[in-house]
Structure 1
Amino acid sequence: MVLYQPEIPGNTGNIGRTCVAVGAKLWIVHPAGFQLDEKHVRRAGLDYWKHLMIEEVVNWDALTEKLSPRRFFYFSRFATKTIWDASFQNDDVFVFGSESSGLPESILDRDAPNALRVPTTGKVRSLNLATTAGIVLYEHQRQVRSLGE
């Protein structure tokens, strides 16, 4: 799970907690809009934060260097394909942009087969970042069945 320049500490804390729940690693691409030790991050992550596999990188290039050659999926409300169109694998990387501006065009090609969105009705512009990340992580788990029953 990758958060590209996240801005809201509570979202990051909630996403971190979900990562712990499914055994995923959380990557933070800087700059972030807060410090990871802020009380809002800790409060949202609760006492699970100590179990989180987390790594911070200074920029996008540093992240891609560390995670290449894995498959990357990019999430945006503007993507033309949905998560139902994807077949996920164990080592896939899920990339989410900042809450206010999403992913930059230099990273996201909204028509690419690896650009995905969570389907919603036309009445909702977008879902909360932590909600979307949770849906994606659990759809991944459903597909790969890597959690014990």
Structure 2
Amino acid sequence: MRIALFEPEIAGNVGAVLRLGACLGAAVDLIEPMGFIWNDRRVRRAAMDYIDHVTIARHAGFDAFRATTGSRRLVLFTTKANHSAYDFEYRPDDVLLFGKESAGVPASVADLCDARVRIPLRSEVRSLNLATAASLALGEALRQTATLPQ
């Protein structure tokens, strides 16, 4: 299973997702451009030494990223979806896609995804932090597919 971040804007969020990937055994795809310089110390501060234990792939844009996914399903996590992330049936080779913090993904990217799901939230709030959403999503996907680390 992989986590893909579309044009992430906040270095600390990327670092936290890299740490998540290291701890739970998920590779992380970073779809550029990013809102910070890759060697930003905030990435390493959030990821700590876990950054050495996660497979990271950087892609020049969405088309370059999509060319690497093959037959894997691209599951978009978005507040605009109607299907709950907890009712969705994941597969071990799914790619869990998250949009940029400020704007999600454009419609042209959403249209190329195989599925769109949302994490149910209380109606009076907009969204979760990117790293928190990725944690909930990856945890549920791994639980369903029985691929959690031991």
TM-score scaled by length of structure 1? 0.94
Who is 2:22 aligned against? Answer: 20
Equivalent in 3, 10, 13 of residue 12 of structure 2: 10
Who is 2:105 aligned against? Answer: 103
Percent identical pairs in the alignment equals: 37
2:51 paired with 1:49: yes
**Unaligned segments of structure 1, at least 5 residues:** none
Who is 2:79 aligned against? Answer: 77
**Unaligned segments of structure 2, at least 5 residues:** none
- One-letter identity of the residue aligned with 1:51: H
TM-score scaled by length of structure 2? 0.93
- One-letter identity of the residue aligned with 1:128: N
Q: CA deviation at 1:131?
A: 0.3
State the number of aligned residues: 147
Please give the alpha-carbon distance, in whole angstroms, between the structure 1 residues aligned to 2:99 and 2:42.
19
Who is 1:130 aligned against? Answer: 131
Who is 2:94 aligned against? Answer: 92
SS in 2 for 1:28: strand
Please give the alpha-carbon distance, in whole angstroms, between the structure 2 residues aligned to 1:83 and 1:140.
9
Runs of 4+ in 1 over 4 A off after TM superposition: none
What is the root-mean-square deviation in Å for CA atoms of aligned residues?
1.3
